[in-house]
Amino acid sequence: MKTHPLKLVTIIGEAVLADRLLREIRKLGAKGHTLTTVEGQGSRGVRASEWEGKNVKIETLVSEEVADAILHVLSEHYFANFAVVAYVHDVGVVRGEKYV
Amino acid sequence: MKTHPLKLVTIIGEAVLADRLLREIRKLGAKGHTLTTVEGQGSRGVRASEWEGKNVKIETLVSEEVADAILHVLSEHYFANFAVVAYVHDVGVVRGEKYV
Amino acid sequence: MKTHPLKLVTIIGEAVLADRLLREIRKLGAKGHTLTTVEGQGSRGVRASEWEGKNVKIETLVSEEVADAILHVLSEHYFANFAVVAYVHDVGVVRGEKYV
């Protein structure tokens, strides 16, 4: 089965950030997402105590370029001020050419 | 720690499809699954407006052959009619030989 | 965008095990986690009937060494007695050097 290589970008942050993060990724080229309510405890040192309870996990399938743009914006504009976690990995997507 | 290489197949679709999708993957050889309730917004062009709200994410650890079969059936029988997303990636599974 | 290579360890088990599993991974070096409530049906042969209903999915971003330690402990102390699934894959993490 031929799949299309894409990046799955995962962003985990406080639930209150969800709408803002979703607007951000859309603006940067994400065509869709899934959002999961999760519980979490942070690994960000001094922020750990602030970050227990409901968080959201946002996942989006994007091209490498869009993944780069999303991670860059998160790193520049979110990591200093919010307990955000972001990571990326390669996936093979059925009919993935529609996502780019 | 020695792990067993398997494919993690992820399928995201409307909640109403869950039982049907689970029967489908079982029939094709999946031995287990997890199902997560997620919210989503589609990236499938004309279908986007139909696909907001509760969806399910189904994940199953399978051999490459079963992964291929699942993605093939989804592509042939679901993608034309339903807002389904499916992707696959490699994972290393503890005692994964039991899954195949 | 430069990311840091880490292992994402995923553990799925009965909800009643959550606190115990979280203590275990902390002790072994995990600095954070997310916990998602999922439904599942097991792929562990004779245990399948015992393992339907609410489970938890615990995810943690760790170094290769910590991933190995977690999977080893799960394999040695949990797989014989509990319906636990555990797998690992590579991810690229924004500012991931903070997790190790």
- HSE (CB half, 13 Å, CA atoms) of A90? 6
DSSP assigned state of C95: T
The answer to whether the Cβ–Cβ distance between A89 and C93 falls below 8 Å is no
Hey, what domains does chain C have and what are their CATH numbers? 4-95 (3.30.70.120)
Q: Which contiguous run of DSSP H or E holds residue B9?
A: strand B4-14
The answer to whether the Cβ–Cβ distance between A98 and B74 falls below 8 Å is no
- Which residues on adjacent β-strands are paired with residue B17? none
Chosen for mutation from B14, B35, B39 (greatest number of chain A CBs closer than 10 Å) is B39
Amino acid identity at A11:
I
For A26, A42, B62, B92, C8, the CA distances from A61, given in Å and listed in that order, are: 11, 24, 21, 22, 18
Amino acid identity at A8:
L
The beta-carbon neighbor of A87 closest among C30, C32, C94 is C94
The burial of B53, by beta-carbon neighbours within 10 Å (0-12 exposed, 13-18 middle, 19 or more buried), is given as exposed
Strand runs (DSSP E) across chain A, as ranges? 4-14, 33-41, 52-62, 85-93
pTM (predicted TM-score) = 0.91
Tell me the mean pLDDT per 10 residues along chain C, length 100.
95 93 96 92 49 82 97 94 94 89
Q: Using a CB-CB distance cutoff of 8 angstroms, which residues of chain B are in contact with residue A95?
A: 75, 79
The answer to whether the Cβ–Cβ distance between C75 and B61 falls below 8 Å is no
* Nearest-angstrom CA–CA distance, C67 and A85: 18
pLDDT at A51: 47
For A10, A52, A90, C42, the CA distances from A13, given in Å and listed in that order, are: 10, 10, 21, 30
A72-81, B52-61, B70-79: segment of lowest average pLDDT: B52-61
How distant is the Cα of A99 from the closest Cα of chain B, in angstroms?
Answer: 6
Question: What is the value of ipTM here, to two decimals?
Answer: 0.89
